[in-house]
C-alpha cells in the first residue's frame, strides 16, 4: 500500500499526460485523475489514501471484488509451472481444457463449444465470424449481414465498433462494414408490446429483417441488458419474441453477455430468466473478474458439430496467440470456484433487490428522476428536467457528470454516467451496508445537483 506525496503525484500526472493514451481518450479528462493504488472487496484506494466504493466493479468486471489473493496464487502457481503454451493445431493445456468444460457446464444447455479470446470485443468479433462461417458450411453464403441494436455496445474493433449502436463511438473511424446494420423504430409502428426500458420492442427486429432480407442475414446480436449504452432492461417477453423471430427467419441469435454473464443479473446467465437460449454466447469480464484478460464465444451443439465435421478443404482459420491461455484459464477456474463457493449469484439477486428497492425508495417520484431500473446488480436511472413530462436534460448541461462527480467527491462512490443516465454495477461480493452507502451517496448527489 503506497501513499504518495503531491510532488510524486504531479510527476505521475505529467507522465500520464505525456505518454498514456487512455481508452476513450480525451486529454482534459486526465488533468487531475484519480490514480488507484490498491483495492479490497468493493473498496478502492487512491494514491492519496482516499477510499471509494467501486460502484461499477471497475468496468462491470471485478465480480469477486478486489484483492483476492486466491486469484494471485492461482496465477503464480500456473506461471511457475507453465505460464504459456500454444493451443494451435494438435496442442492443448490442462487449465484451458478444464475451463472449457466448466464453462460449457455453466452456460445454457444447448451450448457446447468454447473458443477462448482475450476480450469482449474479440468474443463478439469471433461470434460474427463463426456465424458467417456456419452459413457458408450450410450452403448459404449470402447470409453475411448482422443486425445490432441502437444504444448497444459491442466493443472496440472495427466490426464491433460498427455493431455498437452509439454514434459517439463512430466519429472519424468510418467507413465501417456495410453488412452491419441496426434496428430502429419502424415507421407507423402499431403494436401492443410492452417496450424495453429504452422503448425498443421485438417488432424493431422484424422490421430490420424485412428491410435487409432474411436470406442476407447471418445473425442478430443483443446484450440482454444494454450496459455501456446506459443500462436498459428488457420487457419480460422481449427475448422470447426475439428467439421466435430469429428461428422463423433462420437468423442466428448472438447473446452478448460480456457484462451480464456469470451472475450479474442474479442468474448465471441473463436469458435463463426468460427460458431462452442463444445460438452463440459472447462472454469476457467476470470469467476472470478482470484479474487477467480473458473472454470466449460459445457455440451451440449444432454449430459445434458442423465445426467438428468440416470438409477437408475448410478449416476454421480463426486464432489469437493467447487463445486458451493457460494462466488466464487457471485464474478463470479459481474465479468461478469463488463465485460458486461464496454463492455470489444468489448474493447478486438479493443485493440487487436491495439496490433497486433503495433507489426507488430514495428517488421514486423525485422531480428530476425517472425510469429507475435494475436486473440484479446492474442498475440505472434517468435524470430529467421534469419527471412528469419526462423531458431529457440536454447532455451539454452535464447533469450526469455533475451527479457522478458529487457521488465520487462527497459520497465516496465511483460510478459512470452515460449522458443523463447514471449506471451502477458493483462487485457481486457487495454487502448490505455498502449497498445502502451507494444509495445514500446517490440521493445526496441528485438532491444537491438538482436543488430538489
Ligand atoms: C456488452 C459488451 N460487449 C463487449 C464489450 C467489449 O469488451 P472488451 O472491452 O473486453 O473488448 C463490452 C465492454 O464493456 C461490453 O460491455
Q: Give the confidence band of 258 by pLDDT, cuts at 50, 70, 90.
A: very high
Rounded distance from Cα 79 to ligand 1 centre (Å): 27
Rounded distance from Cα 226 to ligand 1 centre (Å): 11
Q: Identify the pLDDT of residue 394.
A: 73
3-state secondary structure of 333: helix
Q: Identify the pLDDT of residue 406.
A: 98
Q: Answer for the pair 263, 339: CB distance below 8 angstroms, yes or no.
A: yes
3-state secondary structure of 262: coil
Put residue 263 in one of left, alpha, beta given phi > 0 → left and psi -120 to 50 → alpha: left
Work out the mean pLDDT of the chain and round it to a whole number: 97
Name the residue among 266, 253, 316, 260 with its Cα closest to residue 284: 260
Name the residue among 151, 156, 87, 169 with its Cα closest to residue 124: 156
For the domain made up of 34-64+343-450, give the CATH fold.
3.90.1150
Rounded distance from Cα 228 to ligand 1 centre (Å): 8
Q: Closest ligand 1 atom, CA of 59?
A: 14
Q: Identify the pLDDT of residue 391.
A: 86
Q: Closest ligand 1 atom, CA of 61?
A: 14
3-state secondary structure of 252: strand
Instruction: Give the Å distances, CA to CA, from 168 to 171, 173, 229.
Output: 6, 10, 11
Question: What are the residue ranges spanned by the domains of the chain?
Answer: 34-64+343-450, 70-341
Name the residue among 47, 36, 37 with its Cα closest to residue 9: 47
Residue nearest to atom 1 of ligand 1 (CA): 258
Best mutation site among 127, 234, 284, 423 for ligand 1, i.e. most ligand atoms within 8 A of its Cβ? 284
Q: Identify the pLDDT of residue 67.
A: 98
Q: What is the DSSP letter of 260?
A: T
Instruction: Specify the DSSP element, H or E, that contains 295.
Output: strand 295-300
Best mutation site among 60, 128, 156, 258 for ligand 1, i.e. most ligand atoms within 8 A of its Cβ? 258
Q: Closest ligand 1 atom, CA of 124?
A: 4
Rounded distance from Cα 442 to ligand 1 centre (Å): 25
The CATH label, of 3.30.450.30, 3.40.50.300, 3.60.15.10, 3.40.640.10, for the domain at 70-341 is: 3.40.640.10
Rounded distance from Cα 405 to ligand 1 centre (Å): 24
- Condensed to tens digits (0 to 9), the pLDDT of residues 69-86 reads 999 999 999 999 999 999
Q: Give the confidence band of 387 by pLDDT, cuts at 50, 70, 90.
A: confident
* Among the ranges given (303-307, 387-391, 407-411, 431-435), the one the predictor scored with the smallest mean pLDDT: 387-391
Q: Give the confidence band of 188 by pLDDT, cuts at 50, 70, 90.
A: confident
Rounded distance from Cα 81 to ligand 1 centre (Å): 31
Residue nearest to atom 8 of ligand 1 (CA): 120
Ligand 1, residues at Cβ distance < 6 Å = 59, 119-121, 124, 153-156, 223, 227-228, 256, 258-259, 284
HSE toward the beta carbon, residue 202, CA cutoff 13 A: 15
Q: With a threshold of 0.95, does the pTM exceed it?
A: yes
Residue nearest to atom 3 of ligand 1 (CA): 154
Name the residue among 223, 266, 428 with its Cα closest to residue 335: 428
Rounded distance from Cα 190 to ligand 1 centre (Å): 33
Rounded distance from Cα 120 to ligand 1 centre (Å): 4
Q: Give the confidence band of 219 by pLDDT, cuts at 50, 70, 90.
A: very high
- Condensed to tens digits (0 to 9), the pLDDT of residues 129-153 reads 999 999 999 999 999 999 999 999 9
Amino acid at each position: 500500500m503506497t501513499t504518495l506525496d503531491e510532488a510524486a503525484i504531479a510527476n505521475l500526472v505529467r507522465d500520464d499526460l505525456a505518454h498514456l493514451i487512455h481508452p476513450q481518450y480525451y486529454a482534459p479528462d486526465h488533468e487531475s485523475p484519480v490514480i488507484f493504488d490498491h483495492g479490497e472487496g468493493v473498496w478502492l484506494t487512491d494514491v492519496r489514501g482516499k477510499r471509494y466504493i467501486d460502484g461499477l466493479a471497475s468496468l462491470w468486471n471485478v465480480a469477486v471484488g478486489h484483492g483476492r489473493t486466491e486469484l494471485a496464487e492461482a496465477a503464480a502457481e500456473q506461471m511457475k509451472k507453465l505460464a504459456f503454451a500454444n493451443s494451435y493445431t494438435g496442442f492443448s493445456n490442462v487449465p484451458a481444457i478444464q475451463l472449457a468444460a466448466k464453462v460449457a457446464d455453466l452456460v445454457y444447455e444447448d451450448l457446447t463449444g468454447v473458443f477462448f479470446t482475450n476480450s469482449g470485443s474479440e468474443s463478439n468479433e469471433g461470434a460474427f465470424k463463426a456465424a458467417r462461417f456456419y452459413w457458408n458450411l450450410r450452403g448459404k453464403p449470402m447470409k453475411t449481414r448482422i443486425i445490432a441494436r441502437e444504444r448497444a455496445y459491442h466493443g472496440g474493433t472495427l466490426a464491433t465498433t460498427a455493431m455498437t449502436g452509439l454514434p459517439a463511438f463512430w466519429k472519424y473511424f468510418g467507413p465501417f462494414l456495410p453488412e452491419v446494420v441496426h434496428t430502429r423504430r419502424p415507421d407507423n409502428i402499431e403494436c401492443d408490446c410492452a417496450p424495453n426500458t429504452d422503448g425498443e420492442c421485438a417488432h424493431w427486429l422484424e422490421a430490420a429483417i424485412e428491410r435487409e432480407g432474411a436470406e442476407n442475414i447471418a445473425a442478430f446480436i443483443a446484450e440482454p441488458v444494454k450496459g455501456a449504452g446506459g443500462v436498459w432492461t428488457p420487457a419480460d417477453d422481449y427475448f422470447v419474441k426475439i428467439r421466435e423471430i430469429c428461428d422463423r427467419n433462420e437468423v442466428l441469435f448472438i447473446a452478448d453477455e460480456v457484462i451480464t454473464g456469470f451472475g450479474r443479473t442474479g442468474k448465471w446467465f441473463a436469458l435463463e430468466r426468460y427460458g431462452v437460449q442463444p445460438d452463440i454466447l459472447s462472454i469476457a469480464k467476470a470469467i476472470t473478474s478482470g484479474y487477467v484478460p480473458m473472454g470466449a464465444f460459445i457455440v451451440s451443439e449444432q454449430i459445434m458439430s458442423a465445426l467438428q465435421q468440416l470438409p477437408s478443404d475448410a478449416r476454421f482459420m480463426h486464432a489469437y496467440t493467447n487463445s486458451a491461455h493457460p494462466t488466464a484459464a487457471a485464474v478463470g477456474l479459481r474465479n468461478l470456484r469463488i463465485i460458486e463457493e461464496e454463492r455470489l449469484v444468489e448474493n447478486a439477486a438479493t443485493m440487487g433487490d436491495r439496490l433497486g428497492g433503495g433507489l426507488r425508495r430514495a428517488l421514486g417520484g423525485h422531480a428530476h428522476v425517472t425510469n429507475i431500473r435494475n436486473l440484479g446488480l446492474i442498475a440505472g436511472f434517468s435524470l430529467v428536467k421534469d419527471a412528469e413530462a419526462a423531458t431529457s436534460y440536454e447532455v451539454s448541461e452535464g447533469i450526469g457528470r455533475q451527479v457522478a462527480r458529487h457521488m465520487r467527491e462527497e459520497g465516496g462512490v465511483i460510478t459512470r454516467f452515460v449522458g443523463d443516465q447514471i449506471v451502477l454495477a458493483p462487485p457481486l461480493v457487495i454487502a448490505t451496508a455498502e449497498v445502502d452507502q451507494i444509495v445514500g451517496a446517490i440521493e445526496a448527489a441528485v438532491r444537491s445537483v438538482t436543488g430538489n
